Amino acid sequence: MHNIFHKVHFVGIGGIGMSGLARLCAFKDIPFSGSTLDGRLDLLEDLKQHGGKIYFSHSPDHLSDDTSCLVYSSAIAKDNPEIEKALRLGIPVLHRSKFLELLLKDYQVIAISGTHGKTTTTALLGYVLDQAGLDPLIIAGGVMPYYGSNVRLSHGPWAVVEADESDGSFLNFDTLHTAVVTNIEPEHMTFFRSVERLKQSFQEFLEKANTFRVIWGRDPVLSSLCTHLSVLTYGQGQGFDISAENVQAQSEGLMFDVLDGDKKIPSIFLNLKGSHNVDNALAVFTVARTLNIDITIIQKAFAEFSGIFRRLTVTGHFNEISVIDDYAHHPTEIQAVISALKHHQKGKVIAICQPHRYSRLKDLMEDFSKSLQRADEVILLPVYGAGEEPIPGIHSEVLKEKLAFHHKNVFSLPCWKLGIDRLCELLRSITQPGDVIVCCGAGDITQLAYLLPNALSL
């Protein structure tokens, strides 16, 4: 039988998910190499330190004679020269999700999916299991500051894994111990094509769980998919298996009471901002209780949890003005970020938004306009295409026109890399001490968020 783990080559190893798989290979003493055009240099350097050969280009020469398997992500084109060579030579070519399933065959897998909140939920649940002494493998879609990586390594038996629905790859798991779905909204519709197919995919994901299924009870779409399934529900309000009430925003986080059946656990502190994170915490609480984790351990973990990079991450300060980096790139996420800052900040919220993908802006133009209205000032950057070709009539100026009907303080700028001085001049003119600047988007706006504090001080 062919040993696919003899030597693995990753095409697109710089991606957050792919780098995590490579790190897991190193942990399991599986030799690996990989190619990429970009990625976090600290994560790539870590892979080098653990024996990986990293190439910053794509070439068929990167496949060695003893390559036993090629792993790719959905971001990689099928005509990639390395994939073409592997197919020509009969080397197994696997999507990253299928390869992950093979790596996890000896684990009890808890998989978290959903349109929003899955990365935070994955990381928080993994941290709770860690604090409970269950020594979990954790694979999240973002870097976890307390582990310095997007992966916490372990031989198991527990694995807490973020399951990516964007390309349907979350269905590549054969079976799961527990499936969690945080919410469902029309997203990634270039892949799903229809809402019905989107709903069917999430239903199939839930059906893969052989022990527990956990869903956000306030989502009517989710609830409609589970009429034939046994599920545990969570949510703020009443009528759920696990619920929260008396939610209060505090300077450094959130305080709320949890109702676990007829038992009330008062004054739980969560070291995160934004009421949406209460729902993420309730999902974690629900799963933790199925594993009989003591409530005091859950409380301690909630109070200590330091979040995920690119989720309301403070990158620096200027003149008592905070600059924040956030991955929010969907209208629901942008609205949640702005609302969270409004509850925790006394000054104005200035939102710099870089729309991500032309197709998303086309489908959700009105929603983007509504989500940005709560910000005191809005600065729009050009669309970050993420490999998509421009769509005629779909660009940030159109969004600006729609937003201007409801919002007088909206600006647009060309590529920030070419106009950072102009951006800084604008920001100095509209901010004052106590304000917060939040950079929202899944593209290269994260680089801007880290440059702004110093650039504004010049």
List the beta bridge partners of residue 144: 149
- Pairing between β-strand 313-318 and β-strand 377-380 as defined by DSSP bridges: unpaired
Is 162 an active-site residue?
yes
Q: Which of 101, 162, 165, 187 is catalytic?
A: 162
Is 119 an active-site residue?
yes
Q: What 3-state class would DSSP assign to 240?
A: coil
Separation between Cα atoms, residue 132 and residue 248, nearest integer Å: 27
> Is 172 within 8 Å of 197 (Cβ atoms)?
no
Q: Which of 67, 119, 121, 182 is catalytic?
A: 119
Q: Take residue 134 and report the two structure tokens written for it.
A: 């269950």
Q: Which of 7, 118, 348, 400 is catalytic?
A: 118
Count the residues in the chain. 458
User: Identity (one letter) of the amino acid at 289?
Assistant: R
Q: What 3-state class would DSSP assign to 71?
A: strand
Name residue, tokens 């305080």: 255
Separation between Cα atoms, residue 156 and residue 266, nearest integer Å: 33
Say whether the peptide bond before residue 390 is cis (omega within 30 degrees of 0). Answer: no
List the beta bridge partners of residue 149: 144
Between the CA atoms of 367, 368, 369 and 373, what dihedral angle is there, to the nearest 10 degrees?
Answer: 100
Q: What is the DSSP string of 284-332?
A: HHHHHHHTT--HHHHHHHHHH----TTSSEEEEEETTEEEEEE---SHH
Q: Take residue 160 and report the two structure tokens written for it.
A: 């807490």
Is 190 an active-site residue?
no
- Active-site residues: which are they? 118-119, 162
